[in-house]
Amino acid sequence: MKLILILLLISFVLSTNSTLKIKGLDWWQQEVIYQIYPRSFKDSNNDGIGDLRGIYQKLTYLKSLGVGCIWLSPILKSPMADFGYDVSNFREIDPIFGTMDDFDMLIRKARKLGLKVIMDYVPNHTSEKHEWFIKSVERIPPYTDYYIWRDAKYQNGKRYPPNNWLSNFGKSAWEWNEKRNQYYFHQFGVQQPDLNYRNPVVFEEMKNNVIFWLDKGIDGLRIDSVDYLYESEEFLDEPPSHVDGVSAEEYAYLNHTYTRFQPENIALIQTWREVFDRYSARGSTKFMVTEAYGKAEEVIKFFGISKRLGAHFPFNFLFITNVNKESNAIALRDIIQNWYKHMPHYGWGNWVIGNHDNPRPATRYGHFLVDGLHMLQMLLPGTAIVYNGDELGMEDTFIRWDQTVDPKALNAGPLKYQEFSRDGCRTPFQWDDTENSGFTKSLHTWLPVNPDYWRVNVKSELKNKKELITHLEIFRELVQLRKNIVFQRGDLNLYVLSNWVLAVTRSFNDHATYAIIVNLGSEITISNLYEKRPSLPRKMSVVIPSINSNYLKGHIINTNSIVLRPKASVVLTTSEEDWDIKPNIITHEDDNYKIY
Ligand code: NOJ
């Protein structure tokens, strides 16, 4: 059996038009995961910041999207130096978001609606306001070594940090503490001291916090920054990266060989997985997803080994890190293959195209490509993880320096902040065209609402239901379509039809075959899928067209000459049923093409 799996995997890797087979699926494999950034989703008490009751009010919207699981970005007690990614109490809800009762109420309603809820867990660091850190500064046992403290180096009577390690938010990763007379290490902001996992007490404390939330009945955790958890014990200087144009204070200036992706990180995740599995054995699976940016071969290590599993899956950020406006069909195909190539046989695919740390897909690729990206994300084998607002094609909001609140951007200063700022993708969700997009009744919002809210919002995008001409309606259709067995269990074939046109086909036993065709280019294209796969019928019908495709549902397309406008995309099916319902055949002679 093992041999067959390995052979299958090898044939997949070697062939361009390769096949991947999938068997028996659990909820986290079937459902779409929807990330909520609570500060920006819905404000129920009109203080300009989103909250748990706001999310509660909007659960029916999430249900109507068809997603099956929500992931809440941090809602725990925090001074908000990094907007919740600096936790000062791992067991309390921050009053900005509400109370534990609000949380329980949210979980209850979600459960009634059949929605799973997972939370963010931020284990690499705490807030400097966490009582552990306050006591650690004072060297009060047992907290003395809860964090990574080091003596200064002195040269010519001047004080220097112990080594050259840099913070992800820029500048030295070491901050001097007068009281303790030592430096502490922080991979992120100075307000986020790193925990010392080499201290068994810390290891145990953080495991118990995981248990606390599992006991509360949540369905899983998204584990933050798992590539940063441990550092090499020798504290050697890291080598320079020699990346052009990067200043000595920027994180990219060094290769982070001693502070990222240490083997101990995976062992820690494996320990937590054991805990998750114990809870899963009592009923529904408790799901763990890990966050780490890096090469596929590094990131997939968080799957663990088959005999000692790690995460159910580590996020696959390849669409974020390896795709840009210039990427062609070959690049996209390679990226898709890259994940499956490195994924172990006990692994599972997943596709992330946006989150609260990166420019939105509509901004990164232009909003016309949003439907095509959603088609890929939803219909490739694996779980789709969606960031709130991307379903509308929301774009990044321009944030002036005087409005900037992201610590990473603030650290970069007024000249460079835009390169680093994550504020643009975190602005309030756009519900309707009323003041402040229906996000709040307050005049002031913690980040400004995107000026395009009068046009890009849930209310206006739902109006066009029948014609499928909004990103939101297309998104909803895709979520429904991916529930089809062909997408849940079918094989995968990738075809580069031309430099800019990528085709993906999915089939399963004798079910209809589906094809997703995406034109990444800025020219109109006529592609021949039939030639690449002659077993396909000469005609297929449109199941879902992108808003700019000029196709409607049910249109029939010749598979040997698929015309696509720039940045347009379609999902096609061989299903006879669709032919019967809408026998609206377009051929090259049809008037419809004359507009080109
Ligand atoms: C990753 C989170 O997604 C990001 O928002 C945060 O700043 C860092 N980890 C530090 O926790």
The residue whose CB lies within 8 Å of the most ligand 1 atoms, and thus the one to mutate among 82, 127, 168, 229, is 82
Q: How confident is the model at residue 577 (pLDDT cuts 50, 70, 90)?
A: low
- Average of per-residue pLDDT across 410-439: 97
- Told to judge if 151 belongs to the known catalytic residues of this protein, a careful annotator would answer no
Question: CA–CA separation, 389 vs 258, rounded Å?
Answer: 37
Helices 263-280 & 200-215 angle (0-180, nearest 10): 30
- Told to judge if 402 belongs to the known catalytic residues of this protein, a careful annotator would answer no
Closest approach atom of ligand 1 to CA 355: 3
User: Is the pLDDT at 592 greater than 60, yes or no?
Assistant: no
- Shortest-distance Cα residue to atom 9 of ligand 1: 225
- Average of per-residue pLDDT across 522-535: 97
8 A C-beta contact, residue 17 and residue 10: no
**How does pLDDT run across 187-235, given as a tens digit for each residue?**
999 999 999 999 999 999 999 999 999 999 999 999 999 999 999 999 9
Closest approach atom of ligand 1 to CA 408: 7
User: What length is written for the chain?
Assistant: 596
Whether the CB of 194 sits within 6 Å of ligand 1: no
Between 276 and 5, the higher pLDDT residue = 276
The residue whose CB lies within 8 Å of the most ligand 1 atoms, and thus the one to mutate among 35, 71, 85, 128, is 85
User: Is the pLDDT at 239 greater than 80, yes or no?
Assistant: yes
- Shortest-distance Cα residue to atom 10 of ligand 1: 85
Whether the CB of 357 sits within 6 Å of ligand 1: yes
**How does pLDDT run across 505-519, given as a tens digit for each residue?**
999 999 999 999 999
8 A C-beta contact, residue 321 and residue 254: no
Question: CA–CA separation, 182 vs 172, rounded Å?
Answer: 14
The residue whose CB lies within 8 Å of the most ligand 1 atoms, and thus the one to mutate among 187, 188, 223, 265, is 188
Distance 207 CA to ligand 1 centre (A): 20
**Averaged confidence pLDDT in the chain:** 92
Closest approach atom of ligand 1 to CA 188: 10
Question: CA–CA separation, 359 vs 423, rounded Å?
Answer: 9
Distance 224 CA to ligand 1 centre (A): 7
- Give pLDDT, residue 466: 61
Q: Which of 219, 291, 390, 395 is catalytic?
A: 291
Distance 36 CA to ligand 1 centre (A): 14
Distance 126 CA to ligand 1 centre (A): 12
- Give pLDDT, residue 469: 84
Whether the CB of 292 sits within 6 Å of ligand 1: no
- Give pLDDT, residue 463: 73
Q: How confident is the model at residue 13 (pLDDT cuts 50, 70, 90)?
A: very low
Closest approach atom of ligand 1 to CA 73: 3
Question: CA–CA separation, 133 vs 130, rounded Å?
Answer: 5
Distance 473 CA to ligand 1 centre (A): 31
Q: Is 187 helix (H, G, I), strand (E, B) or coil?
A: coil
Q: Give the CA dihedral 55, 60, 65, 69, nearest 10 degrees.
A: 60
Task: Give the containing element (helix H, strand E) for 339.
Answer: helix 329-342
% of residues, the chain, pLDDT over 70:
92
- Shortest-distance Cα residue to atom 6 of ligand 1: 85
**How does pLDDT run across 157-200, given as a tens digit for each residue?**
999 999 999 999 999 999 999 999 999 999 999 999 999 999 99
- Average of per-residue pLDDT across 98-105: 98
- Average of per-residue pLDDT across 404-408: 98
- Give pLDDT, residue 462: 87
| CB-CB neighbours of 238 under 10 Å | 19
Token code pair at residue 399: 């944030």
Strands 69-72 and 33-36 turn out to be: parallel
**How does pLDDT run across 261-315, given as a tens digit for each residue?**
999 999 999 999 999 999 999 999 999 999 999 999 999 999 999 999 999 999 9
Distance 41 CA to ligand 1 centre (A): 18
Q: What is the DSSP letter of 322?
A: S
Q: Which of 82, 194, 219, 224 is catalytic?
A: 224
- According to DSSP, the residues that pair with 397 across neighbouring strands are none
- Shortest-distance Cα residue to atom 2 of ligand 1: 224
Whether the CB of 87 sits within 6 Å of ligand 1: no
Whether the CB of 122 sits within 6 Å of ligand 1: yes
**How does pLDDT run across 332-349, given as a tens digit for each residue?**
999 999 999 999 999 999
User: Is the pLDDT at 33 greater than 90, yes or no?
Assistant: yes
- Shortest-distance Cα residue to atom 11 of ligand 1: 85
| CB-CB neighbours of 59 under 10 Å | 17
Closest approach atom of ligand 1 to CA 82: 7
Distance 73 CA to ligand 1 centre (A): 10
User: Is the pLDDT at 8 greater than 70, yes or no?
Assistant: no
**How does pLDDT run across 358-374, given as a tens digit for each residue?**
999 999 999 999 999 99
Closest approach atom of ligand 1 to CA 86: 11
Exposed/middle/buried for residue 381 (C-beta within 10 Å: 0-12, 13-18, 19+): buried
- Average of per-residue pLDDT across 565-579: 86
User: Is the pLDDT at 587 greater than 60, yes or no?
Assistant: no
User: Is the pLDDT at 590 greater than 50, yes or no?
Assistant: no
8 A C-beta contact, residue 230 and residue 196: no
Closest approach atom of ligand 1 to CA 291: 1
